Structure 1
């Protein structure tokens, strides 16, 4: 297991490198001039009053006049040393601003996934155990509605705290997966054997069926958490939560590509780490899985 973890961690390096190349090139080809936006205060009506010499001077100060490979090399070298650069718009260290906001976003995301998991798993179990009954039909209708409704619409309609707006979609999807997984394991021979031994239905579900049904549920939850980080951006903007999402939208508005690049790389690193954790949990839940 240790060898496997080390190998996976080493794979983070080329993956992150590819992410940095993609996001850097995207920021390079996107139209617009950061120096011009700074001098005009992001007001297009002020463009005619800006001296081009001032624009060129500011571009030189920010290093925007250097070749793309030089800018990329400087950025990567600084990032390796833990320096994410300074915001082009606010002239403040990105790492300072990102630290507090990232904790807020992760807290919101974790609350959302936990709320979804705590409600979805019992709901999916109930739906599977009571197959083709009224509770099953109600659960399936709720799940379909939750999956169909986009997160931003849920947030606008309900106007409840952001974690619930995030959790509802994940809750519905996880409940559907839990139902399908439970239906599959409930038909296995070891479940019938457990019942034949005289165990109560609660013991059969909790000690035998649920443990084996958890693997696909954990997979979906990990996948949902990765997608959830993207949806958090929308929810943070709607509820004015001072997290990474609002920071990213503000950076896009100002074409502050230093901040954009830092946020994208950070989110990519979190998603890769989460995938590694899920693989490790797999080995804990299922002893048959062996990582080399």
Structure 2
């Protein structure tokens, strides 16, 4: 059978999953990274850094096994199979979305944290703080 005949029917589902993964991953990772970078050395920073390292060090196929074991077999909250052959089902997207987002959130949060730590060091940031600018205003500007 031609590859295009196998690929086209499933392309929409793949694009839906990838788009949802980006919609979840980017805001969560940026928020965690910014919060950890602003409060360098705090408990939140250490927790975000630890979880980021753990999630990026575990490959996707191993994450899938752990997440499946937890949510499918132990808690029995999600279906174990996600073929979506009967049409769109949000419940069937949760498990693949979690697996895709785990690695990406950890990676993006680490990069964002490192960038925030670097950006918060220059003298003009200290000057803005001394002049009374709030941390939120400094970060947003």
1:157 paired with 2:72, answer: no
TM-score of the aligned structures, taking structure 2 as reference length: 0.73
- Give 1:131 shift: 1.0
- Give 1:97 shift: 4.7
Given candidates 180, 200, 204, the residue that maps to 2:138 is: 204
SS of equivalent residue, structure 2 residue 100: helix
- Give 1:99 shift: 3.2
1:192 paired with 2:107, answer: no
Gaps of 5+ in 1: 1-85, 89-93, 208-292
1:107 paired with 2:16, answer: yes
Superimposed CA distance per residue, residues 142-174 of structure 1 (whole angstroms, 9 cap, x where no aligned partner)? 001001111111112112521111011010011
Query: What pairs up with 1:36-47 in 2 under 5 angstroms?
Result: none
- Give 1:193 shift: 3.6
Structure with the larger RCO, 1 or 2 (CA within 8 Å, 6+ apart): 2
Check conservation: 1:128, 1:182, Cα contact below 8 A.
Answer: yes
- d(CA) in 2 for partners of 1:109 and 1:194? 40
The equivalent residue for 2:43 is 134
- d(CA) in 1 for partners of 2:17 and 2:36? 28
Check conservation: 1:115, 1:164, Cα contact below 8 A.
Answer: no
Check conservation: 1:144, 1:172, Cα contact below 8 A.
Answer: yes
1:167 paired with 2:82, answer: no
Given candidates 148, 151, 162, the residue that maps to 2:57 is: 148
Given candidates 87, 93, 101, the residue that maps to 2:2 is: 87
Gaps of 5+ in 2: 69-93
- d(CA) in 2 for partners of 1:180 and 1:103? 35
Look at both structures and tell me which one has the larger radius of gyration over its CA atoms: 1
Check conservation: 1:111, 1:163, Cα contact below 8 A.
Answer: yes
Query: What pairs up with 1:1-292 in 2 under 5 angstroms?
Result: 87=2, 94=4, 97-159=6-68, 161-207=95-141
TM-score of the aligned structures, taking structure 1 as reference length: 0.37
- d(CA) in 2 for partners of 1:166 and 1:179? 20
- d(CA) in 1 for partners of 2:49 and 2:42? 11
